[in-house]
Structure 1
Amino acid sequence: MLDVDRFISDGYLKIESAFDRELGLRCHDQLWRATGLDPADPTSWTESLIRVTAMATPDFTASANTDVLTEAFDVLVGRDGWQPRLGMGTFPLRFPSTAAPPEAGWHVEASFHDAEGPRLSLRSRGRALLMLFLYSDVGPDDAPTAIRVGSHLAVPKVLAEYGSDGAPWMPICEKVVPATENCDVVSATGRIGDVYLCHPFVVHTATAHRGAVPRFMAQPPLEPTGELDLEAEHPSPVAAAVVRGLTP
Structure 2
Amino acid sequence: MSAIERIGLTPGQIQGFVDDGFVKIEAAFSAKLARLGRDELWADMGLSPDEPQNWTQPVVRLGFKSSPPFVEAANTPQLHNAYDQLVGPGRWLAPEGVGTFPIRFPSPESPGDDGWHVDVSFGTDNPDFMEWRVNVKSSGRALLMLFLFSDVGPNDAPTKIRKGSHAAIARELLPYGEAGASLRQLSATGYASTENCEVELATGAAGTVYLCHPFLVHAAQAHRGQRPRFMAQPPLLPKREFDPNLPPSPVQIAIRQACGLTI
Q: Same fold (TM over 0.5)?
A: yes
Give the deviation of 1:166 after TM superposition.
Answer: 1.3
Residue from 167, 184, 199 that aligns with 1:153: 167
Task: Find the counterpart in structure 2 of residue 57 from structure 1.
Answer: 67
Equivalent residue runs for 1:114-193 within 5 Å: 114-115=125-126, 117-175=131-189, 177-193=191-207
Shift of the 157–175 alpha-carbon distance from structure 1 to 2, 3 Å rule, reads: farther
TM-score between the two structures when normalised by the length of structure 1:
0.96
2: CA distance between counterparts of 1:151 and 1:162? Answer: 18
Task: Find the counterpart in structure 2 of residue 4 from structure 1.
Answer: 14
Q: Is the 8 A contact 2:147 2:231 kept in 1?
A: yes
Unaligned runs of 5+ in 1: none
Per-residue Cα deviation, 1:186-210 (whole angstroms, up to 9, x for no partner): 0000011000000000000001100
2: CA distance between counterparts of 1:128 and 1:227? Answer: 9
Give the deviation of 1:175 after TM superposition.
Answer: 4.1
Residue from 202, 208, 214 that aligns with 1:194: 208
Task: Find the counterpart in structure 2 of residue 81 from structure 1.
Answer: 91
Q: Answer with 85-94 or 169-178: which moved more.
A: 169-178
Give the deviation of 1:39 after TM superposition.
Answer: 1.1
Task: Find the counterpart in structure 2 of residue 15 from structure 1.
Answer: 25
Give the deviation of 1:173 after TM superposition.
Answer: 2.6
SS of the aligned residue for 2:176 comes to coil
Task: Find the counterpart in structure 2 of residue 243 from structure 1.
Answer: 256
Q: How many residues align?
A: 247
Per-residue Cα deviation, 1:113-157 (whole angstroms, up to 9, x for no partner): 253631001100110000000000000000000000000000112
2: CA distance between counterparts of 1:95 and 1:122? Answer: 35
RMSD across aligned C-alpha pairs, in angstroms?
A: 1.4
1: CA distance between counterparts of 2:241 and 2:99? Answer: 21
Task: Find the counterpart in structure 1 of residue 117 from structure 2.
Answer: 107
TM-score between the two structures when normalised by the length of structure 2:
0.90
**Greater fraction helix:** 2
2: CA distance between counterparts of 1:132 and 1:151? Answer: 17
Residue from 242, 245, 253 that aligns with 1:228: 242
AA in 2 matched with 1:58: P
Q: Is the 8 A contact 2:116 2:190 kept in 1?
A: no
Q: Is the 8 A contact 2:58 2:110 kept in 1?
A: no
